[in-house]
Amino acid sequence: MRVAVFSAKPYDQQFLNAANGDGNHELVFFEARLTPATAPLAAGFSAVCAFINDQLSEETVRAIAATGTQLIALRSAGFNNVDLKVAKELGLTVVRVPAYSPYAVAEHAVGLILMLNRKLYRAYNRVRDDNFALQGLLGFDLHGATVGVVGTGKIGQCFSKIMNGFGCKLLAYDPYPSQVCLDLGMEYVPLPDLLAASDVVSLHCPLMPETHHLLNADSLSGLKTGAMVINTSRGGLIDTPAMIAAIKSGQVGYLGIDVYEQEANLFFEDLSDTVIQDDDFQLLQSFPNVVITAHQAFFTREALTNIAETTISNINQCAQGEACPNQVK
């Protein structure tokens, strides 16, 4: 198949070319994001390959379908950026990579917790500046702390196992409890109870209409005072202005995020010479108890290998007219 690969960074090219072996498919890489404005680049390609910040809105999907695209191969698990209704109406197949490394994301969430709790970002800078004072670096033991896990699917389960190893008390909220988590001795409780009891709340549920702004002014007011919130899932789970207010009031004591609701305008690009126009983002950056990473939780060798190999295997199956288990219905 001729495949137009959008949002293609050098690392995407490296791993996809390796997975494509001796050039089974013709992969053409575009660094641009797929948007209605860049959709004409896909003209004549039977497949487009897209990532999380590509905009497969109704307008884009109609445009690529009109110029011959039949397959959308997502290099992500999430598909909230695709207008599935229109894709179905136009007969486009959508495939995804349901799991590539739950360990990568879970381990990154734990990294954010340690970074915030032990103030490693401040300690690193201090020591480089020959400032060896400890004042301001006080943390708390994770052993014995209560950790609330919202969403106990693949990533939530890996995260829970790690935190269980730290000796934390684990609470969970998920409409579909996991046997793995029950076997760890985790207690499933309603979301308000989890928020009220947890020292650390980590979000691992998908972004859907029901989970949009799951943490808003109302739910944040029910948090244990000074709790830590970690979000490695999707930015839209948090109402950012409400979170800023909760940090200012001290309701939230620490925030670690790898995702941000308006990240499409920022993440994956070097904007270090640019004046960032997003005031909420700049305000968050200015707080001493907030750590932000730019959607890198998935970014390990193992995950990129799995993403590339599954994507090529999805394209192979679709090219051969076989049923693809990773098709999004």
Which of 75, 108, 204, 295 is flagged as catalytic? 295
Residue 267 engages ligand NAI in binding (rule: CB under 6 A)? no
Interface residue with ligand NAI, options 111, 148, 151, 235 (CB under 6 A)? 151
Beta-bridge mates of residue 73: 49, 95
The token pair at 249 is 């009031």
Task: Report the distance separating Cα 109 and Cα 150, nearest Å.
Answer: 13
Residue nearest to ligand NAI (CB): 153
Helices (H), 177-321: 179-183, 191-197, 217-221, 240-249, 279-286, 301-319
Task: Report the distance separating Cα 251 and Cα 31, nearest Å.
Answer: 41
Task: Report the distance separating Cα 198 and Cα 221, nearest Å.
Answer: 13
For ligand NAI, the binding residues in 103-132 under the rule CB under 6 A are: 105
Measured from the CB atom, the residue of 132 and 176 that comes closer to ligand NAI is 176
End-to-end Cα separation, the chain, in angstroms = 22
Interface residue with ligand NAI, options 65, 95, 170, 205 (CB under 6 A)? 205
Active site residue 295: yes
Measured from the CB atom, the residue of 140 and 299 that comes closer to ligand NAI is 299
Interface residue with ligand NAI, options 3, 298, 307, 310 (CB under 6 A)? 298
For ligand NAI, the binding residues in 76-105 under the rule CB under 6 A are: 77-78, 99, 102, 105
Measured from the CB atom, the residue of 169 and 295 that comes closer to ligand NAI is 295
Label residue 130 exposed, middle or buried (CB < 10 Å: 0-12, 13-18, 19+): exposed
For ligand NAI, the binding residues in 157-186 under the rule CB under 6 A are: 173-176
Interface residue with ligand NAI, options 130, 210, 270, 322 (CB under 6 A)? 210
Residue type for position 180: V
Closest C-alpha to 86, from 67, 66, 61: 61
Interface residue with ligand NAI, options 96, 119, 224, 295 (CB under 6 A)? 295
Helix and strand numbers, DSSP H then E, in the chain = 12, 12
Helix, strand, coil: what percent of the chain each, to 5?
40, 15, 45
Residue 190 engages ligand NAI in binding (rule: CB under 6 A)? no
Provide the binding-site residues for ligand NAI, judged by CB under 6 A: 77-78, 99, 102, 105, 150-156, 173-176, 204-207, 210-211, 232-234, 258-259, 295, 297-298
Catalytic residue annotation: 234, 263, 295
